[in-house]
Amino acid sequence: MAWANDQALRNAEELTFKRSGSPNLIRMDEMINGALGLGEKSHLRDPVKGVNEPFVDCLHALTHGNPISVRFMAFGLQKIFQTDKLLVRAEMELNLFTILVYRRALGEDLRSIWRMLAPLNDRPEDMKTNARIAALEVKKAGLDKGFPHM
């Protein structure tokens, strides 16, 4: 039996991160920076010193084992990617996401949430504290049943 929409099926088989329904990674980064009041710019396109390739391309190469990864080792990976700072940033982004989800679940306006988050974009401890506060407010409101990890 033939599918009613064979073309849609063929298109779905060819999905890539660049052709999804969402903006690409750099555009999303620009939008997040804009919402944080940092201007609609992305530093993901900035070249990595010593490699002269955009950061996002270097990161992509690392995840796929492309030949550029060999050059990274020649320069010393720790000189290109400061792992300790990457982990701090990743935790901060997770806390930012947590705040957004929990505050939206509480019915808060997106604009007011971004206004609160804007000054915290480079203060990881304050972001963590605010994520905990948002989690407590979700629990107090009795909404924590929808968040099994709480």
pLDDT digits (tens, 9 = 90+) for 64-83: 655 555 555 556 665 566 66
Do 100 and 120 touch, CB atoms closer than 8 A? Answer: no
Predicted TM-score (pTM) of the model is: 0.51
The tens digit of pLDDT for each residue in 10-38 reads 555 554 445 556 678 888 888 888 888 88
